[in-house]
Amino acid sequence: MAGTGPHHAVREDWLALACEDVIAPGQPILDAHHHLWDRPEGRYRATEFRGDVEAGHDVRASICVQCRTGYRPGGPTAMQPVGEVETILDWCRDQPLYPAGIVAFADLQLGTGVRPVLEALILAGDGHVRGIRNTTAYHPDPVVRSNPRPAPDGLLRSDAFREGCTLLNEHGLCLDIWAYRTQLAEVVELARALPDLTIIVDHCGGPLGVGPFRREDPENFRAWRDSLASVAELPNTRIKIGGFGLSVMGYSYADEATPPHSRDLAADCEPFVVITESDSGSILKAEFPPELDIVGAPMFAHGNDQSKTTT
């Protein structure tokens, strides 16, 4: 295993073992979902991200998604996540389109009490903050885990969380949700309850392949497909295509001797991508550096993979 917990460490020497030509180097790309951080186990800041996006693909701009880094060390707990926006913009001050937008964190369980936090995030973001994401992925089996701080059960159904969500549209913000396929009925309920709020479902709606789930099981695939179709029927939902490589989905690329080739990534994710693209408004993303576990493949391989599965 390349790391402990749900995330793997970034191993530059392992990633360097991959080699393939870039497909469609002239295709303009907006990377709609990546992360930046500086942690004891490793860093992936603007410098590292720029090195990856300039390795061959024409990435014009990006959307950086919260991952609990750079929080303010003191002050009110609810306001500490504003430090993540401040930190990201400081790292990226010399490259304004990386990111062009930020999906930040504000604790929506505060209900209407989250208003001053949203206002502080928007002020700190100087036009960059476009959405909010909370930790929402939950499953009772501890093996089905993709976050060091798992969400509580029933968060998406809680009155306080929904009350906080009502303020997002008022502030011109969308809601990003990372939920497993077993939670998609809750996403449907939330989207129906808040029809004016744009809800973006991360990681293809969370197909699962660990614990009681097997990626190769046709019943497991059908359950994901049917649940995602219910989400996609709603006019206020969008689905991000990406996240393939997450170990919770049943992938183990990071345990292999060499990184996967884009043809292998494309073959593994194609059934999910075909269904997702046919269902709803879809958004391509790299989910780099960690596919979040990561790093399970070099960024150019993810770019080639997306070129192969969408043409």
The radius of gyration of the chain from alpha carbons, rounded to an integer in Å, stands at 18
Query: Residue 32's domain spans which residues?
Result: 12-309
Residue 218, pLDDT score: 96
196 inside domain: yes
- Which of 189-193, 253-257, 278-282 comes out lowest in average pLDDT? 278-282
Give the model's confidence band at 287: pLDDT under 50 very low, under 70 low, under 90 confident, else very high.
low
In the block, which residue shows the tokens 């990377």?
A: 31
Write the CATH number for 280. Answer: 3.20.20.140
Residue 254, pLDDT score: 83
7 inside domain: no
Helix spans in the chain (H): 12-15, 46-53, 82-91, 115-125, 159-170, 184-193, 218-232, 262-279, 299-309
Residue 198, pLDDT score: 98
172 inside domain: yes
- Which of 222-231, 280-289, 294-303 comes out lowest in average pLDDT? 294-303
Q: Between residues 262 and 131, which one has the greater pLDDT?
A: 131
45 inside domain: yes
Give the whole-angstrom CA distance, residue 179 versus residue 156.
9
51 inside domain: yes
As to burial, measured by CB atoms within 10 angstroms (0-12 exposed, 13-18 middle, 19+ buried), residue 292 is buried
Structure tokens at 163: 């009350």
Residue 26, pLDDT score: 87
State the total domains in the chain: 1
Residue 6, pLDDT score: 67
6 inside domain: no
Residue 55, pLDDT score: 80
Residue 295, pLDDT score: 40
Residue 122 has pLDDT above 60, yes or no: yes
